[in-house]
């Protein structure tokens, strides 16, 4: 029987001193149950919030992560490989929630369009693998369900971190569209056991997450966690996301501009091609300049994560 992390085994931060809720062997599969990023507190379209501070009067916390999961034999310097096998969404009430807060999102000051419109909340039904998304005066549009993990961490080495931020050293709330079924993320081990926590499941999300809030939902995430010992690792600085077609690096220095994170991820990829794929460094740089792909996750004030990837067919 596959082990589970229960929905109530969550917290709103990651830390080196949190005891694991589960310990597994390398290569074991786990189902991680998660709550939505609002802790299930937003259930009605009538709940509208003029600011993030107003939201925090209602919710327990933001972006709860379930776990942590310890991996036996994981030592500092090793790498954990987390393969996403499947994600089921709408697992608490069959719904997904999104909202607009005037002081949060890509189009607040100085680009605000919300001041003239006011806040908004949509609580949407998930049926038959679509999200029923109501439009004023236009009826209902069906959004395809494209589940993804919004937040995933390995434990930091020293300080406690709020779950809703991120860190290039441990990942976090990077909201990457690529982190769905069939993808694998590689995370560095900075404390014994590695301590994987995840949550903030999205039923779908547009590139850039311009409003700052996706279709937030409770999920069941089926993963397989393996261990790569330091001597065999091809890990440098940035978290890595892989699939059968591509390899990639995530630029996720919290609080930096989008362009800086794009360049950080490209630098990581150049060095990976040079050190582990046998490329001359200049050739790697030039190749990525022609065939590198950029996936923008977020376009917010402090949240500007990005994935830079390359097709494996060029890694000859």
Domain count, the chain: 1
| pLDDT(117) > 90 | no
pLDDT in tens, 246-255: 999 999 999 9
Q: Is residue 234 in some structural domain?
A: no
Structural domain of 137: 3-74+86-152+193-220
Cα separations in angstroms, 175 against 64, 70, 84, 181: 14, 23, 15, 14
- Residue 111 pLDDT more than 90? no
> Which pLDDT value is given to residue 115?
75
Q: In this structure, is residue 103 part of a structural domain?
A: yes
CB 36 within 8 A of CB 11: no
Inter-CA distances, 226 with 81, 182, 192, Å: 5, 15, 14
Q: What pLDDT is attached to residue 114?
A: 74
CA distance 274 to 272: 5
Among 215, 149, 147, smallest CA distance to 184 is for 149
Whether 112 shows a pLDDT value over 90: the answer reads no
Per-residue model confidence (pLDDT) at position 108: 80
Q: pLDDT at position 206, please?
A: 96
What per-residue confidence (pLDDT) applies to 140? 96
In a domain, 134, yes or no: yes
Structural domain includes residue 202: yes
Cα separation, 190 vs 169, whole angstroms: 9
Least confident stretch, 40-54, 95-109, 139-153, 283-297: 95-109
Query: Is residue 298 in a domain?
Result: no
Alpha helices in the chain (DSSP H): 52-56, 258-276, 281-291
Question: What is the share, in percent, of the chain residues with pLDDT greater than 70?
Answer: 100
Residues 260-284: tens digit of each pLDDT: 999 999 999 999 999 999 999 999 9
- Domain presence at residue 288: no
In a domain, residue 294? The reply is no
Q: State pTM to two decimals.
A: 0.96
Do the domain assignments include residue 109? yes
Give the other-Cβ count within 10 Å of 269's Cβ: 26
CATH of the domain at 133: 2.60.120
């Amino acid at each position: 029987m596959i082990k589970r992390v229960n929905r109530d085994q969550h917290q709103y931060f990651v830390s080196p001193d949190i005891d694991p809720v589960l310990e597994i062997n390398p290569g074991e599969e786990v189902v991680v149950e998660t709550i939505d990023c609002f802790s299930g507190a937003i259930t009605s379209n009538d709940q509208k919030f003029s600011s993030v501070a107003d939201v925090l009067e209602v919710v327990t916390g933001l972006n709860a992560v379930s776990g942590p999961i310890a991996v036996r034999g994981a030592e500092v310097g090793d790498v954990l490989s987390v393969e996403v096998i499947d994600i089921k969404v709408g697992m608490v009430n069959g719904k997904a929630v999104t909202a607009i807060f005037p002081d949060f999102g890509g189009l607040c000051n100085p680009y605000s369009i919300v001041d003239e419109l006011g806040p908004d909340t949509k609580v949407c039904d998930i049926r038959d693998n679509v999200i029923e998304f109501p439009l004023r005066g236009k009826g209902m549009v069906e959004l395809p369900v494209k589940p993804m993990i919004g937040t995933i961490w390995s434990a930091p080495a020293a300080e406690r971190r709020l779950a809703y931020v991120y860190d290039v050293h441990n990942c976090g709330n990077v909201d990457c569209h690529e982190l769905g079924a069939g993808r694998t993320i590689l995370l560095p081990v900075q404390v014994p056991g590695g301590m994987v926590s995840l949550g903030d499941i999205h039923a779908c999300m547009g590139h850039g997450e311009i409003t700052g809030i996706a279709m937030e939902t409770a999920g069941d995430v089926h993963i397989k966690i393996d261990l790569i010992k330091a001597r065999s690792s091809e890990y440098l600085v940035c978290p890595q996301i892989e699939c059968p077609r591509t390899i990639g690096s995530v630029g996720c220095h919290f609080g930096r501009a989008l362009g800086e994170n794009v360049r950080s991820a490209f630098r990581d990829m150049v060095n990976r091609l040079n050190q582990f794929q046998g490329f001359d460094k200049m050739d790697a740089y030039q190749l990525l300049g022609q065939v590198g792909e950029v996936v923008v996750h977020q376009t917010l004030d402090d949240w500007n994560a990005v994935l830079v990837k390359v097709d494996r067919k060029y890694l000859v």
